[in-house]
Structure 1
Amino acid sequence: MYRNHFGLRELPFGITPDTSYYFAAPASQEALNTLMVAAKNGEGFIKITGEVGTGKTLLCRKFMASLGSEFVTAYIPNPMLEPRTLMLALAEELGLTPEKGIEQHHLLKSINQRLLDLARAGKRVLLCLDEAQAMPLETLEALRLLTNLETEKRKLLQIVLFGQPELNRKLQLESIRQLAQRITFHYHLGPMSRDDLEFYLSHRLNVAGYPGNRLFARDAVKALHGASGGVPRLANILAHKTLMLAYGEGRQQVRASHVRAAARDTIFVRRGALRWAGFAVPALIFVAGLLWMYAR
Structure 2
Amino acid sequence: MYTDFFGFNQLPFSLSPDTGLFVNLPGHQRCFELMVHVLESGEGFLKVVGDVGTGKTILCRKLLRYLAENTENDYCSVYVPNPMLSPVGLYRAVGQELGLDLDQVQDDDALLSHITDRILALAESDKSVVIVVDEAQSLPEETLEALRLITNLETEQRKLVQIILFGQTELDTLLNQDRFRQVRQRITFAHYLKPLNEDEARQYLDYRLSRSGYNGQPIFSTKAIKQLHRYTNGVPRMINVLAHKALLAAFAEQSYVVTPGHIQLAYKDSNEPLPGGRSVPWLLVLSGLILAGAVAWRLL
Are residues 223 and 37 of structure 1, via their aligned partners in 2, closer, same or farther at CA, if it must alter by over 3 Å?
Answer: same
CA distance in 1, matches of 2:119, 2:294: 58
1:40 and 2:44 equivalent? no
Q: Could you say what secondary structure the match of 2:53 adopts? A: coil
Show the 5 A alignment for 1:138-177: 138-177=142-181
Equivalent position amino acid for 1:4 in 2: D
Distance 2:288 2:60 in 1: 34
**C-alpha deviation, 1:101, in angstroms:** 4.5
Match of 1:228 in 2: 232
Closer/same/farther in 2, CA of residues 5 and 223 from structure 1, 3 Å limit: same
What is the aligned counterpart of 1:114 among 101, 115, 118? 118
- Is 1:186 equivalent to 2:185 in the alignment? no
How far apart, in 1, do the equivalents of 2:221 and 2:184 lie?
A: 46
Native 8 Å contact 1:241 1:285 kept in 2: no
What secondary structure does 1:266 align onto?
helix
User: Does residue 238 in structure 1 map to residue 242 in structure 2?
Assistant: yes
What amino acid sits opposite 1:66 in the alignment? Answer: Y
Whether 1:283 and 2:282 are equivalent positions in the alignment is: yes
Q: Does 1:79 align with 2:78?
A: no
Cα 1:247–1:159 shift into 2, 3 Å: same
| 1:259 aligned partner | 263
Residue deviations 1:196-218, cap 9 Å, x none? 11011011111111122101010
Paired with 2:208 and 2:124, the residues of 1 have a C-alpha distance of: 42
CA contact (8 A) 1:79 1:134 kept: yes
Query: Residue 66 of structure 1 aligns with which residue?
Result: 66
Contact 1:79 1:132 in 2 (8 A): yes
How far 1:240 moved relative to its partner?
A: 0.3
- Using the size of structure 2 for normalisation, the TM-score is 0.91
Structure 1 contact 42–155 (Cα < 8 Å) conserved? yes
Question: Structure 1 residues 277, 256: closer, same or farther in 2, change over 3 A?
Answer: farther
| Larger Rg over CA atoms | 2
- TM-score scaled by length of structure 1: 0.93
Partner of 1:18: 18
Tell whether the 8 Å contact from 1:2 to 1:292 is kept in structure 2 after alignment.
Answer: no
**Distance in 1 between the 2:292 and 2:40 partners?**
52
3-state SS in 1 of match to 2:103 = coil
| Residue correspondences, number | 288
Structure 2: runs of 5 or more not aligned? 296-300
What is the alpha-carbon distance in structure 2 between the residues aligned to residue 169 and residue 185 of structure 1? Answer: 17
Matched-pair contact (CA < 8 Å) for 1:11–1:208: yes
**In angstroms, what is the RMSD of aligned CA positions?**
1.7
In the superposition, relative to structure 1, how do residues 95 and 295 fare at CA in structure 2: closer, same or farther (>3 Å)?
farther
For residues 139 and 295 of structure 1, what CA distance do their matches in structure 2 show? 58
Quick one: percent identity of the two aligned structures? 44
Q: Which moved more, 1:116-125 or 1:191-200?
A: 116-125
- 1:9-53 CA-to-partner distances (Å, cap 9, x unmatched) read 111100010100000100101111111111111111110000000
Q: 1:270 aligns to what?
A: none
